[in-house]
Amino acid sequence: MPVPGVTRDPLRRAYEVVIVGAGLQGLALAYELAKRGLRDVAVLDRGYPGVGASGRNGELIRSAFGTPEWVGFFGASLARWRELSAELDFNVLFTPAGYLVLASTDEELERCRGYAARHRELGVATRLVTAAEALELAPALAPERVRGGVYQADGGFAHHDAALSGYARAAARLGAELHPFTEVTAIRTSTGRIEGVETTRGTISAPVVVDAAGGGARAVAALAGVEIPTRTFRLEAIVTESLAPFLRPGLALLNVLGYCHQTTRGELVGGTDQRRMDEADCLRCTLRNLRDTAQKLVAMMPRLAGVRVVRHWAGTVDVATDFAPVLGPVDELEGLVLDCGWLYGFAGAPASGLLLADSIVTGRIPPLAAPFSLARLREGRPIRESSLVVDTEAAG
């Protein structure tokens, strides 16, 4: 079956914008550029659309973070998720079933109390919930592992394949070209400007090249001689057989550094991060991680004991030292645009597509995207977001 939206025509020799990477970031941006009237947009991928982390993630979406920068950006993205199915004319299965950050200890509950207070200051609608309320929201949890939590009622999840298909089809309808199996092997520059790219299918000229290469983003930037201070980490997730509905909201489990949700098809999708994230650029799944995730999810939700795991995969993410995305132009090289450093790049894609498209078309960086510049990292101004459910020392 052909992959939705892919182009059958030959690769042209010139485009206005070349996007490297057909993950959700690259596809959302292609759609937004085409929607703004750009007719010469090409998305190139060394594999097929969604082969990267965009087709391998936990699908969770929230905007309840602890810094104005994250809240502003992910709030805009959440708003966009709500309208996406109608706009793309494709059901991306966005399900605002709630997002519960669960505390299993008194110390974690204190953290949640702090998160909820911060959310109030930042105008994000969450509420601190008691153990009884958390169990009402997610009755499958083991009561002895529940102390309470913080709940965002309008968070939730979508389906990653549906979101990829929706954006790919809509971008193609508007004239963007999506070329799979086209690896970018070099970036051509001259006197501080981008001239184009070399690919396994020939040379293309383009004044604007966007690095949306996910786990490969640092390597792609290096092709242009630009160093971005990110590191590549490997994450794993599992999918169970389909189960009768038992879990409504998405869960972030502070105690086990885990997350999960039950899809509309009944599968539980989830994962746990190791105490130290695995710095690696490969897609190998490990028995260690499978066992870790299974044991922790069963401990949190005993009814999962004996349930079969039907899929298990790994994906890579490129994360900056402060775990925030790296977006926008690069001072020393005109025409290079970064759309990388994505840890929560599934949730964030609708906003980044829109904001980066605006910035490419107008030449002005929208205020919501401006804080995420490469310059912040170079100049030692990291964004200190404290409510990520990962081991934030891992990339320190």
Task: Summarize as ranges the residues that interact with ligand FAD (CB under 6 A).
Answer: 20-26, 44-47, 51-54, 56-60, 183-184, 212-216, 220, 235-237, 271, 315, 317, 342-347
Cβ closest to ligand FAD, residue 271 vs residue 335? 271
Cβ closest to ligand FAD, residue 40 vs residue 281? 281
The least distance separating ligand FAD from the CB of residue 214, rounded to whole angstroms, comes to 2
Cβ closest to ligand FAD, residue 131 vs residue 360? 360
**In the chain, helix, strand, coil percent, each to 5?**
35, 25, 40
- Determine which helix (DSSP H) or strand (DSSP E) holds 324, and give its type and residue range: none
Between 106-122 and 68-88, two packed helices, what is the crossing angle to 10 degrees? 80
The token pair that represents 318 in the structure block: 């490129």
Strands (E), the chain: 17-20, 41-44, 60-61, 99-103, 127-130, 148-152, 156-157, 177-179, 184-190, 193-199, 202-205, 208-211, 230-240, 250-253, 258-262, 268-272, 278-279, 309-320, 326-330, 333-340
Cβ closest to ligand FAD, residue 120 vs residue 284? 284
The token pair that represents 386 in the structure block: 């404290």
Cβ closest to ligand FAD, residue 103 vs residue 220? 220
The least distance separating ligand FAD from the CB of residue 235, rounded to whole angstroms, comes to 4
Cβ closest to ligand FAD, residue 53 vs residue 170? 53
φ and ψ of 100, to 5 deg: -110, 120
Q: Which residue has the tokens 């939590």?
A: 149
The least distance separating ligand FAD from the CB of residue 270, rounded to whole angstroms, comes to 9
SS3 208: strand
Instruction: For residue 364, count other CB atoms closer than 10 A to its CB.
Output: 9
The least distance separating ligand FAD from the CB of residue 325, rounded to whole angstroms, comes to 8
Q: Which residue has the tokens 């299918």?
A: 201
The least distance separating ligand FAD from the CB of residue 197, rounded to whole angstroms, comes to 8
The least distance separating ligand FAD from the CB of residue 314, rounded to whole angstroms, comes to 7
